[in-house]
Structure 1
């Protein structure tokens, strides 16, 4: 008989929201409570389309998770980083450069960021089929929470991609001043995600920026909100109607430096065998036209694109692009840009 006692979690204490006067992106706020009526759903469709075609990033509120549930999940998200001994972490460490799959731990300093500086963030990746693989001992009592959390995301974005879509707990650690100078305060270069959509739970440490027509803009924290953004796969399928959102992570503002930055992210992928070509049966694409990144006959499958992007990140030798501040690499015959 299952236990009726909910296991207690160690308490993760996040930083307070920044008080610095930052230039924030003006992102759409999608209120899911409107979905209760036909009129509300019609309104949401317009708001979502406008938000995703303008910035490719938007907030989602009233999604069904309470503030208390949110806080508990952040407590759980910190357990793989703070509650597991280093020798046990090694037993659950993956090698994404070889496998093209994020599973288990990615240790700190696994990726090259810039100018010889390696990353200072650790993450633990959990297949959305939570019970399909083993997990560190400290995390096992909380698998029911993680399983329920992952299924919440699946309901919001129901692509059937067994073995690929995954939940990530991720923690950035402060860097030395020398490293900040060498990388110009960039913790993760500007890039697009390579799945279909990404769902990120808003957290208070300001570090995420998106590229807008006006330049880089900060993403403001909204308590208990989700952030959703478009990835490469959606851009391929929609022929550029929805474009992958360029975003990066930088050093937090002065009043938040010295704090760790804990994130919870759900990465959704299409089935591995889906060919990444525009869905030309769509009347919208027939009306507006498409912008292909490659010809249909050489377009990669989801698996080929996923493996190429994961294996190359932080390991490949980037080349200087034609545009200022942009580095490039060619994967599956397609140019991938990194924005610095």
Structure 2
């Protein structure tokens, strides 16, 4: 196993097929650029993913800096003995805490154990919205950093959701009001670590899945993330999403599919061994998941309730039974169905 710092990561191979996802400028979104907002909507109806350029705004640069600090912290956290990490294991139906590698998820038809471990640190716990569970001392010693990252990441995500709402001729706060930062919710920061896979190229980091919140903001510095191709000649094939410095990777979750009755898309994605020499290196990522606050009713906005079938680009999660769920109930069901 080779250990390298971020600066020593070998380049992403040039001959590897990559997904042709678009790039959206946070600065232009903040400035109310309707063309940029239209491109964001198009991305959320097609590939389901886009790069978010954070390099030209102070908020974006601060967020990148926080993510890089959390990446460094991740290496300390995951370097601890397994028995020490297992002391913070999450409980069934609750994602917050530690998940060890080796989980078999219901979303993987091959039932391959995953090779990714992660810590989920709840926004509510770091910001005093709800009583906190226990976390490793490394997390508690860096509480201010987690607070900073979570608050900035949430602000960036709300900026995107406001732009999507405006472009869809909705009041700007239509989606924001379902994801209020100060309300109890499933929002959390995830620190992940995937072990290198030098020989087993069929190993799975995380199996194919859709996210089940509203919007996800991802920082990764190593290849491995894949989404399915939209090219008709390559239907069903997987393409890598190449990491880009100074950019986050954005995708919507199933909650937004529900709120828009399938007009917006939550795209399937997975994590596999990184291509080329990058396969020899541990993969770390820093993620922020925005999920509707617990009291939100999971049903389409009025504008989308009678959406014509031909306008829909994605299915939506079917809850158990006919009951309309609150977001808190929705998250509990989805967590159990994911098998983690």
Question: Which bracket does the TM-score occupy, shorter chain normalised?
Answer: 0.7 to 0.9
Higher relative contact order (CA 8 A, sep 6+): 2
Q: Residues 156-305 of structure 1: matches in 2 within 5 Å?
A: 156-158=156-158, 159-160=179-180, 161-175=183-197, 177=199, 180=200, 184-203=202-221, 205-214=222-231, 215-281=237-303, 285=307, 293=316, 298-305=323-330
Give the 3 Å change call, closer, same or farther, for CA 89–278 of structure 1 in structure 2. Answer: same
Give the 3 Å change call, closer, same or farther, for CA 43–259 of structure 1 in structure 2. Answer: same
Q: Does 1:78 align with 2:75?
A: yes
Kindly indicate whether the alpha-carbon contact (under 8 Å) linking 1:210 and 1:219 is maintained by their aligned counterparts in 2. Answer: yes
Kindly indicate whether the alpha-carbon contact (under 8 Å) linking 2:196 and 2:279 is maintained by their aligned counterparts in 1. Answer: yes
Q: Residues 74-113 of structure 1: matches in 2 within 5 Å?
A: 74-82=71-79, 84-95=80-91, 98=92, 100-111=93-104
Match of 2:165 in 1: none
Counterpart Cα distance in 1 of 2:305 and 2:259: 13
Q: Does 1:46 align with 2:38?
A: yes
Query: Mind listing any 5+ residue stretches in structure 2 that lack a counterpart?
Result: 159-178, 232-236
Displacement, 1:269?
A: 0.7
Kindly indicate whether the alpha-carbon contact (under 8 Å) linking 2:261 and 2:304 is maintained by their aligned counterparts in 1. Answer: no
Q: Residues 302-321 of structure 1: matches in 2 within 5 Å?
A: 302-314=327-339
TM-score (norm 2): 0.76
Counterpart Cα distance in 1 of 2:207 and 2:83: 30
The C-alpha deviation readout for 1:36-83, integer Å capped at 9, x for no partner, is 534x2x22211111111121101111252255544323112323212x
TM-score (norm 1): 0.76
Displacement, 1:139?
A: 3.0
Secondary structure (helix, strand or coil) at the match of 1:118 reads coil
Displacement, 1:196?
A: 1.1
Alpha-carbon RMSD across the aligned residues, in angstroms, is 3.0
Secondary structure (helix, strand or coil) at the match of 2:38 reads helix
Q: Does 1:149 align with 2:149?
A: yes
Give the 3 Å change call, closer, same or farther, for CA 91–299 of structure 1 in structure 2. Answer: same
Kindly indicate whether the alpha-carbon contact (under 8 Å) linking 1:12 and 1:74 is maintained by their aligned counterparts in 2. Answer: no
Displacement, 1:224?
A: 1.9
Counterpart Cα distance in 2 of 1:247 and 1:292: 15
Q: Does 1:121 align with 2:116?
A: yes
Q: Could you tell which deviates more after superposition, 124-133 or 222-231?
A: 124-133
Displacement, 1:247?
A: 0.7
Counterpart Cα distance in 2 of 1:148 and 1:111: 33
Secondary structure (helix, strand or coil) at the match of 1:186 reads coil
Aligned length: 294
Rg larger for: 1
Secondary structure (helix, strand or coil) at the match of 1:209 reads strand
Kindly indicate whether the alpha-carbon contact (under 8 Å) linking 1:202 and 1:224 is maintained by their aligned counterparts in 2. Answer: no
Give the 3 Å change call, closer, same or farther, for CA 244–13 of structure 1 in structure 2. Answer: same
Displacement, 1:218?
A: 1.0
Query: Mind listing any 5+ residue stretches in structure 1 that lack a counterpart?
Result: 1-10, 316-340
Residue among 10, 15, 19 paired with 1:16: 10
The C-alpha deviation readout for 1:3-31, integer Å capped at 9, x for no partner, is xxxxxxxx766633322411111111111
Structure with a larger share of its residues in strand: 1
Counterpart Cα distance in 1 of 2:292 and 2:276: 39
